[in-house]
């Protein structure tokens, strides 16, 4: 049957057909453009190495914890600016709040308020925040009555009595770990037990002149872990038991820790349920600089990976720069160093994103802050990925995109000045490219006779001291972030070989900048502010009867808390005359004995700038011996603590080797064994946003033109 259509009906039907075809064509164009756009964008993201710009605030970058969630947990050690902390970090480890001086200052009185408040502050804002503990047993920031050091207190003998000390150790661990065990993922059971590293004898390498060793000997390390394991296992908690130490990129020290953990775990195999080793984790404190060799860090990780059942946590990480101005060269080189290290961390990560075939041992990485700080731990050393104002530096990009950063950057040369040479006087300055700041004044070249110390490789000494003579040490320095200074006894020309007796008294004698110290070790920890210059004086009569490893040796000048943000301007040493004899000038650095003596030119100190945006900076005085990077606490007791001591747990975050080798960071062998498998890792859309917008705009333009054309056809 045939259907007859009128002219109007035929016209209407034609319009509908044209419209439907136009609509279908429009959808086809949109779909094609979308597919093409997506393919082009994907190709662009995976084939170029464009990085987002620096200088933006944290919310303009992906959270560190999200970028690394499939590699390892990304956390913070100590405090930092709250919003940036919550945005970037998945875990929190208190810097000071859980240390023995804060949890049991007086025997039998346990106080947990500080740590509880810190944990609550973060858990209230982020219910998924994980927590770790730091620390149960350490020689520093611990009341000395715990190991029964004299004088006698709390009805104890005061004679380093073994039974008393062991009871104190066990009681402290039972109470603190018993209180926090159900809320934490892991805890630093023992912190920094190693003294001078002897790879052939880990027991002989333990620090002997301080802390628990004085009462318990070399066994104190395993005794602490045995008690911690008893508490954890009896409660059924899955809390990782950690040994934490600095300088583990040093091959010798890494070997010592490896042998210690290996021996202890073998000795106590089967003691814990489910085959758990007694020591489950090695915490590698990451106090690094531009001179840190990435290859040595990787070698240590490989070594620790050989220990059955043992994992690695990178703790307290920072990369310090020379103080002064944050130049483009410094910022670039810091980004390079962060990128090198995080590429290694990815290649040994415990998470599923690591497909390299390497050992999967790194479970956690923790930075020692959020932003750079002007004073306190690493004050003035630009160690964090964000600057003073919370703006991203090259360091953040190096952490977020290590492979891409290394592909698009290289080390930039920085001009350094050569040190003025005065026999037996060695002055170092990170602002001039050295690995640390401070000075060594060499008094002995034979460790077998008084003053029981040795010289450097050149064998030169500053002067030959006389027994029972009185000497005056005077030096001028400028604070560039480090506002406290120590004068110490050291065995050699290193950056950490202090005498055992010095270690015991390191916090005992405290002075302000305008006082004359009468002892060594001396701790000048008040009366100084950032960017001020100060002349500090110590007068001491040498004790000719001091034994080896006692209060004698070479003289060391160091930043309080291991800080390196300062410069020494001049040094003088004089023998003080007797019976109206004149004083004798023995050392005059940098001018020399025959030149004009340097002026005492103390600059008017510059007031410190206020804290930046709730950064929670540390107070003026930095920590004792690189104790943890954050809050400063009052002294534990008069014989072994200092007001204002802050964080970070390492005496000198540089290896205990002869200092500076004048290497340029560009020439370091920072090779990485394995490639990151994520060749197609996507960068932020900042590099392709313009292209994306252009394609989408063209797509809309085509559709619009098509509809206009269709409408006109329909009208005809």
Q: Which two tokens stand for residue 574?
A: 């004089």
- Calpha distance 460→457 (Å, rounded): 8
- Calpha distance 68→139 (Å, rounded): 34
Backbone phi and psi for residue 91, each to the nearest 5 degrees, phi listed first = -140, 160
The pLDDT of residue 324 is 83
Mark whether 461 and 568 lie in a shared domain: yes
- Calpha distance 552→542 (Å, rounded): 8
| Cα 247–Cα 250–Cα 254 angle in degrees, nearest 5 | 85
Cβ neighbours for 7, distance < 8 A, ≥ 6 positions apart: none
CB 78 within 8 A of CB 315: no
- Calpha distance 72→11 (Å, rounded): 68
- Distinct helix (H) and strand (E) counts, the chain: 16, 19
- Calpha distance 231→242 (Å, rounded): 14
Choose one of 589, 607, 641: the last residue of a domain.
641
Mark whether 391 and 529 lie in a shared domain: no
The pLDDT of residue 656 is 37
User: Which single residue is written with the structure tokens 């080798």?
Assistant: 661
The half-sphere exposure of 450 on its side-chain side, counting CA atoms within 13 A, is: 13
User: Which of 97, 192, 620, 645 is labelled catalytic?
Assistant: 192
User: Which of 101, 316, 331, 632 is labelled catalytic?
Assistant: 316
- Please give the DSSP secondary-structure letter assigned to residue 612: P
Q: Which residues pair with 361 in a beta bridge?
A: none
Residue 684's CB is within 10 A of a number of other CB atoms, namely: 17
- Calpha distance 76→629 (Å, rounded): 11
Q: Which two tokens stand for residue 291?
A: 């001179």
Mark whether 36 and 74 lie in a shared domain: no
Residue from 461, 428, 424, 658 nearest 559 by CA: 428
User: Which single residue is written with the structure tokens 């050291």?
Assistant: 490
Choose one of 387, 408, 429: the last residue of a domain.
408
Mark whether 252 and 393 lie in a shared domain: yes
For residue 288, what is the enclosing H or E element? strand 281-289
Choose one of 408, 425, 448: the last residue of a domain.
408
Chain centre to alpha carbon of residue 55: 23
Q: Which residues pair with 510 in a beta bridge?
A: 523
619 a catalytic residue: no
- Calpha distance 374→198 (Å, rounded): 37
- Calpha distance 476→478 (Å, rounded): 7
Mark whether 462 and 330 lie in a shared domain: no
Mark whether 372 and 444 lie in a shared domain: no
Q: Does residue 488 sit in helix, strand or coil?
A: strand
Domain contains 164 = yes
For residue 18, what is the enclosing H or E element? helix 7-47
The pLDDT of residue 714 is 53
CB 497 within 8 A of CB 484: no
- Calpha distance 105→172 (Å, rounded): 11
pLDDT tens for 679-697 read 444 555 444 444 455 555 6
Domain contains 486 = yes
Residue from 626, 489, 674, 698 nearest 191 by CA: 626
CB 445 within 8 A of CB 483: no
Query: In the β-sheet with 566-575, what is the strand arrangement from edge to edge?
Result: 516-517, 533-541, 470-479, 566-575, 584-589
Domain contains 675 = no
Residue 309's CB is within 10 A of a number of other CB atoms, namely: 13
CB 396 within 8 A of CB 54: yes
CB 563 within 8 A of CB 624: no
CB 210 within 8 A of CB 500: yes
CB 321 within 8 A of CB 382: yes
Mark whether 129 and 25 lie in a shared domain: no
Mark whether 17 and 71 lie in a shared domain: no
Number of domains in the chain: 3
Backbone phi and psi for residue 120, each to the nearest 5 degrees, phi listed first = -65, -40
192 a catalytic residue: yes
Mark whether 122 and 233 lie in a shared domain: yes
Domain contains 533 = yes
Q: Which residues pair with 643 in a beta bridge?
A: none
Q: Which two tokens stand for residue 687?
A: 């590099």
Mark whether 635 and 494 lie in a shared domain: yes
Domain contains 647 = no
Mark whether 442 and 400 lie in a shared domain: no
pLDDT tens for 217-274 read 999 999 999 999 999 999 999 999 999 999 999 999 999 999 999 999 999 999 999 9
Distance of CA 487 to CAs 540, 550, 553, 672, Å?
12, 15, 12, 39
Query: Which range marks the domain in which residue 694 is found?
Result: 7-50+683-715
- Taking the chain, what is the end-to-end CA distance rounded to the nearest angstrom? 31
> What pTM does this model have?
0.73
Mean pLDDT by 10 residues, the chain (716 residues): 54 56 55 46 44 97 98 96 97 96 97 96 96 96 94 96 98 98 98 91 90 96 98 98 95 97 98 97 95 96 98 97 91 98 98 98 98 87 96 98 97 75 92 88 95 93 95 93 92 90 88 96 89 90 94 95 87 93 94 63 41 39 40 38 40 38 37 40 46 56 62 57
Mark whether 561 and 601 lie in a shared domain: yes
- Calpha distance 340→668 (Å, rounded): 12
Domain contains 670 = no
Domain contains 614 = yes
Domain contains 194 = yes
* Positive/negative CA dihedral, 367, 259, 496, 666: negative
User: Which single residue is written with the structure tokens 């008069």?
Assistant: 638
Q: Which two tokens stand for residue 252?
A: 């010798």
Q: Which residues pair with 208 in a beta bridge?
A: none
E-state strands within 168-237: 186-191
């Amino acid at each position: 049957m045939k259907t007859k259509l009128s002219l109007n009906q035929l016209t209407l039907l034609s319009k509908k057909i044209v419209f439907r075809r136009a609509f279908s064509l429009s959808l086809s164009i949109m779909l094609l453009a979308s597919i093409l756009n997506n393919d082009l964008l994907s190709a662009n993201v995976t084939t170029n190495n464009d990085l987002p710009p620096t200088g933006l605030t944290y919310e303009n970058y992906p959270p560190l914890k999200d970028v690394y969630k499939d590699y390892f947990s990304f956390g913070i050690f100590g405090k930092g600016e709250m919003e940036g902390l919550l945005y970037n970090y998945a875990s929190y480890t208190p810097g000071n709040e859980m240390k023995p001086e804060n949890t049991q200052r007086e025997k039998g009185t346990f106080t947990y308020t500080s740590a509880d408040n810190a944990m609550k502050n973060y858990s209230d804002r982020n219910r998924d925040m994980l927590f770790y503990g730091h620390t149960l047993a350490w020689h520093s920031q611990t009341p000395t009555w715990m190991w029964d050091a004299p004088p006698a207190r709390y009805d104890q003998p005061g004679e380093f009595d073994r039974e008393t000390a062991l009871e104190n150790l066990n009681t402290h661990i039972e109470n603190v770990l018993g209180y926090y065990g159900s809320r934490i993922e892991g805890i630093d059971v023992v912190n920094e037990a190693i003294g001078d590293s002897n790879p052939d004898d880990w027991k002989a390498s333990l620090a002997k002149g301080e802390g628990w060793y004085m009462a318990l000997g070399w066994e104190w390390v395993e005794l602490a872990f045995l008690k911690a394991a008893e508490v954890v296992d009896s409660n059924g908690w899955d809390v990782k038991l950690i040994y934490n130490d600095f300088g583990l990129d040093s091959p010798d020290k890494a070997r010592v820790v490896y042998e210690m953990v290996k021996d202890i775990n073998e000795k106590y195999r089967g003691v814990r349920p489910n085959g758990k080793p007694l020591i489950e984790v090695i915490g590698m404190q990451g106090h690094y600089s531009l001179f840190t060799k990435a290859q040595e860090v990787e070698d240590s990780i490989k070594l620790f990976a050989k220990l059955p059942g043992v994992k690695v946590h990178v703790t307290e990480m920072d990369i310090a720069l020379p103080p002064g101005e944050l130049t483009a060269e410094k910022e670039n080189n810091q980004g390079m160093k962060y990128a090198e290290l995080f590429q290694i961390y990815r290649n040994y990560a415990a998470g599923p994103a690591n497909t390299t075939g390497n050992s999967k041992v790194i479970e956690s990485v923790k930075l020692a802050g959020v932003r750079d700080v002007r004073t306190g731990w690493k004050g003035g050393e630009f160690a964090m990925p964000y600057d003073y104002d919370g703006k991203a530096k090259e360091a953040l990009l190096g952490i977020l995109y290590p492979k891409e950063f290394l592909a698009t950057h290289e080390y930039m040369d920085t001009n350094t000045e050569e040190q003025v040479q005065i026999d037996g006087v060695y002055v170092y300055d990170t602002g001039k490219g050295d690995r640390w700041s401070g000075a060594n004044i060499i008094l002995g070249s034979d460790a077998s006779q008084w003053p029981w110390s040795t010289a450097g490789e050149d064998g030169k000494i500053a002067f030959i001291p006389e027994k029972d003579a009185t000497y005056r040490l005077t030096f001028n320095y400028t604070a560039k972030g480090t506002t406290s200074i120590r004068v110490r006894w050291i065995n050699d020309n290193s950056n950490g070989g202090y005498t055992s007796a010095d270690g015991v008294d390191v916090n005992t004698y405290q002075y302000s900048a305008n006082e004359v110290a009468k002892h060594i070790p001396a701790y000048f920890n008040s009366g100084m502010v950032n960017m001020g210059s100060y002349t500090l004086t110590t007068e001491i009569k040498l004790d000719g009867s001091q034994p080896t490893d006692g209060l004698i040796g070479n003289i060391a000048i160091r930043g309080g808390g291991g800080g390196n943000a300062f410069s020494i301007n001049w040094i003088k040493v004089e023998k003080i005359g007797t019976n109206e004899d004149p004083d004798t000038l023995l050392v005059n650095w940098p001018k020399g004995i025959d030149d004009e003596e340097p002026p005492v030119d103390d600059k008017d100190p510059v007031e410190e700038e206020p804290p930046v945006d709730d950064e929670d900076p540390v107070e003026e005085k930095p920590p004792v011996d690189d104790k943890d990077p954050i809050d400063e606490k009052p002294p534990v007791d008069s014989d072994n603590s200092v007001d204002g001591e802050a964080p970070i747990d390492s005496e000198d975050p540089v290896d205990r080797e002869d200092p500076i080798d004048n290497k340029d960071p560009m020439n370091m062998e920072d090779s990485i064994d394995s490639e990151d498998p994520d060749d197609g890792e996507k960068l932020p859309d900042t590099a392709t946003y313009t292209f994306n917008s252009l394609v989408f705009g063209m797509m809309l333009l085509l559709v619009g033109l098509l509809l206009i054309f269709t409408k006109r056809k329909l009208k005809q």
